[in-house]
Structures are given as C-alpha cells and as structure tokens.
C-alpha cells in the first residue's frame, strides 16, 4: 500500500466547504487503488490574520516542506485586503517551493451547458499552462511621494530566460504528449521589451520540439477567440498575468468557475506541489453549503496524477463526468439546487 502525507489548508469562505469533498473522494478512490493518506490540517487563513496578524506562521513553509503535496481550498475575506491574503500565503508557497508551472485544464462536460453556443462537450478540452513565479507578478517596484500630488507607483515585470524556458519546455512537452498543438499568449506589439523576449524564447523552444505545431496570438485577440471558438485550442501557454486571466475566462466558457482545477507544480519534486481550485473564497455564497465542489475534487485528481496514480485520477474525473452526463444533480452555479454535500454524495456513489 502506497502512503502519502497531505497538507490540508482549507483557508476561507467556500474553501473550507469544498476541501472536505475532495478529501472524501480521496479516501474512496484511495481505498480502491491501495493508496493510503494521512493529513495534517492548517488553519492558515484571513481569520488567523485577523487574530494573529499573519496568514501563516513565520516557519510556515518549513511545516509543509516534508509533505508529499498540499491541497488548498481558497483564501480571501472582505475586510482583509486581497494582496495581504494572496501575498501572505499563496504566493510565498508557490515561490518558496518553486511551483513554477500552474496547470489549469478546462473541459466542457456533457450535461453542463456552456454560456457559449460554440462550446460543445467533447470538443472543448484545453489546458492553460501559466508561468507561476515571475513575470508581471513581481516584487520589484515601489511607491514614491506618498500623499503628494506627484505620488507614483512603479511595478517591474520580470521575465528570465531560465524561468520562461522551463515553463515553455513543460508546455511543449505536454502538447507533444497530448498529440496536440500549442498557442502562446503574447502582446509583443504593445509591450516592447518583455514580450518580444517571450516570443523569441517560444520560437527557440518550438524549434527544439519539432513534433508540436504551434502559433501565437496577442492576448486581446486570444481572449475573443477563446470565447468564439474554444475548440480550436489545446495547450495555451501564457505569462503569469495573462494565464491568470485566460484561465478564469476559459473556465467560465466551460460553464462555471466552480468546476476549474489548478496544479502548482514543482517539476523537479524538490518541494511539495500544491493543488487548489481556480476559484476564490466566494464570500457572496459562503456558509450556505451551495458551493460547487468540482474544482476542488478535480484538483485532488490532479494531485493523484502527480503522485503517480493516473488510474485513480482518471476514476475521479470519470466520476465527475458521470454525475454531469447521467444525473441532474447540479449546484446552483450550474442552474441546479443541490447542496455541496448532496453533489458530493452523488459523485461518491458513481465513483
């Protein structure tokens, strides 16, 4: 029996409501495949920030370091500025553990109606590969002349050859394994230093992966095309900011942001990788047991895959697909009236 020690960080709002669903699914699928899990839970959250002045303890990363993976719900609470919750927990984990690939699959499931007529089940199955530790989300910059009319803010985007190359190589490799094509998100017409550099590196890595057909699109046009013709895309590789925006957009095209999962991967496995739904803490629906748990459950499936259990992972994604295709169990974001608990129970029944 294989055994994994998982760090659980439920976080805030619906994060704490959807993470138990993921854990129940892990238990069920683990029992079938001979995979055992033990868990350590952490109360790191905005609630902790309000109580103790920090999202996580100073030695937070050290507490996580020896775990096999991290499963996170979501963080964010009205009253705590979003940059505090993000930079106090998520971003330090992503950066400190060199989780430089953020992988976000998007799929239109049979039985889930997309708001877009053109997005049909079986045709739309793409994955956004987002650079996760540098780019536009850099710590370089500052504020000057605070409070005066000439007050100013500067934030530098940072693109390194090593950082861009490793995420591109992952994306090209993924496209090769999927037998698919790759699209690079750029804006090298308007942003004249970093994105022409990005384009050069894409061409370089493209030449090193001759088996993959690739092209590039400016981010504005790409956003429109993802809405109008999502089936055209397979692997979309993007910088930190562009990938963040595109993956929410693509998730909405697939029916709801509540179903979208994400993996933050340290490919070298020097550190634990982190798995979390794309959505946030959704304070508007928190505490009512109506959140869609699919993003969290699918993230757990990505974790199984990363831990070397692709069959178990497939069982989970098949069960998600089966609930949508064969039942009318839906949470309110997908037009139904099922609670988080009811949806999870139905999924466990079909698993």
Residue 169 annotated in active site: no
Q: Active-site residue among 42, 49, 100, 137?
A: 137
Q: CB under 5 to 8 A by kind: which of ligand NAI, Mg ion, none does 125 bind?
A: none
Q: Which is nearer to ligand NAI, 68 or 244 (CB)?
A: 244
Q: Which residue among 76, 111, 135, 255 contacts ligand NAI (CB under 6 A)?
A: 76
Q: Active-site residue among 43, 62, 220, 318?
A: 220
Q: How far apart are CA 248 and CA 256, in angstroms?
A: 9
Q: How far apart are CA 194 and CA 48, in angstroms?
A: 38
Residue 248 annotated in active site: yes
Residue 244 annotated in active site: yes
Q: Which is nearer to ligand NAI, 30 or 261 (CB)?
A: 261
216-275 residues near ligand NAI, rule: CB under 6 A = 257-258
The two tokens of residue 221 are 């046009």
Q: CB under 5 to 8 A by kind: which of Mg ion, ligand NAI, none does 340 bind?
A: none
Closest distance to ligand NAI from the beta carbon of 78 (Å):
7
Cα 52-53-54 angle, rounded to 5 deg: 95
Count of CB atoms situated within 10 Å of the CB of 211: 8
313-343 per-residue burial string, b: 16 or more CB within 10 A, e: under 16: bebbbebbbbbbeebebbbbbbebebbbebb
The two tokens of residue 155 are 């934030």
Closest distance to ligand NAI from the beta carbon of 290 (Å):
7
Q: What is the CA radius of gyration of the chain?
A: 20
Q: Which stretch binds ligand NAI (CB under 6 A): 53-61, 74-82, 101-109, 199-207?
A: 74-82
Q: How far apart are CA 42 and CA 258, in angstroms?
A: 23
- 291 sits near ligand NAI (criterion: CB under 6 A): yes
- 244 sits near Mg ion (criterion: CB under 5 A): yes
Q: Which stretch binds Mg ion (CB under 5 A): 131-139, 185-193, 236-244, 323-331?
A: 236-244
- 136 sits near Mg ion (criterion: CB under 5 A): no
Q: CB under 5 to 8 A by kind: which of ligand NAI, Mg ion, none does 244 bind?
A: Mg ion
Q: Which is nearer to ligand NAI, 222 or 251 (CB)?
A: 251
Q: How far apart are CA 344 and CA 351, in angstroms?
A: 10
- If you count them, how many residues does the chain have? 351
Q: How far apart are CA 10 and CA 46, in angstroms?
A: 11
Closest distance to ligand NAI from the beta carbon of 182 (Å):
25
- 6 sits near ligand NAI (criterion: CB under 6 A): no
Q: Strands (DSSP E) along the chain, which ranges?
A: 2-11, 35-41, 69-74, 101-107, 125-131, 141-144, 152-155, 181-186, 213-218, 235-238, 261-265, 273-277
C-beta separation of 277 from 296 below 8 A: yes
Q: x-or-dash pattern for ligand NAI, window 267-286, by CB under 6 A?
A: ---------x--xxxxxxx-
- 88 sits near ligand NAI (criterion: CB under 6 A): no
Residue 346 annotated in active site: no
Residue 318 annotated in active site: no
The two tokens of residue 138 are 């850099």
Q: How far apart are CA 198 and CA 193, in angstroms?
A: 9
Q: Which residues are catalytic?
A: 137, 187, 220, 244, 248
Where does this chain bind ligand NAI (CB under 6 A)? 14, 74-76, 82, 85, 90, 257-258, 276, 279-285, 291-292, 295, 331, 333
- Residues engaged in binding Mg ion (CB under 5 A): 244
């Amino acid at each position: 029996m294989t055994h994994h020690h998982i760090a659980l960080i439920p976080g805030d709002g619906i994060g704490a409501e959807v993470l138990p669903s993921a854990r129940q699914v892990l238990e069920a699928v683990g029992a079938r495949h001979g995979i055992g899990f033990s868990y350590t839970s952490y109360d790191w959250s905005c609630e902790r920030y309000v109580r103790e002045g920090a999202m996580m303890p100073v030695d937070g990363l050290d507490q996580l370091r020896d775990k096999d993976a991290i499963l996170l719900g979501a963080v964010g609470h009205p009253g705590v500025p979003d940059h505090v919750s993000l930079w106090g927990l998520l971003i330090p984990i992503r950066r400190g553990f060199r989780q430089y690939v953020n992988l976000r699959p998007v799929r239109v499931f049979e039985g889930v109606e997309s708001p877009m007529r053109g997005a049909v089940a079986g045709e739309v199955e793409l994955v956004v590969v987002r650079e996760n530790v540098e780019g536009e989300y850099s710590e370089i910059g500052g504020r000057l002349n605070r409070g005066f009319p000439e007050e100013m803010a500067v934030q530098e985007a940072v693109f390194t050859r090593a950082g861009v190359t490793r995420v591109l190589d992952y994306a090209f490799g993924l496209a090769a394994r999927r037998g698919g094509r790759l699209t690079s998100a750029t804006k090298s017409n308007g942003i004249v230093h970093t994105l022409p550099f990005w384009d050069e590196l894409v061409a370089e890595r493209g030449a090193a992966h001759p088996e993959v057909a690739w092209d590039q699109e400016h981010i504005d046009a790409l956003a429109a095309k993802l809405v109008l013709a999502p089936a055209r895309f397979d692997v979309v590789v993007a910088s930190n900011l562009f990938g963040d925006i595109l993956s929410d957009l693509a998730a909405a095209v697939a029916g709801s942001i509540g179903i979208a999962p994400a993996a933050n991967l340290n490919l070298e496995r020097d550190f634990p990788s982190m798995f979390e739904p794309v959505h946030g803490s959704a304070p508007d629906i928190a505490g009512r047991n109506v959140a869609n748990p699919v993003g969290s459950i699918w993230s757990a499936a990505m974790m199984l895959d990363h831990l070397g259990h692709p069959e178990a992972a497939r069982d989970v994604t098949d069960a998600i697909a089966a609930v949508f295709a064969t039942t009318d169990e839906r949470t309110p974001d997908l037009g139904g009236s099922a609670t988080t608990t009811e949806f999870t129970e139905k999924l466990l029944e079909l698993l």
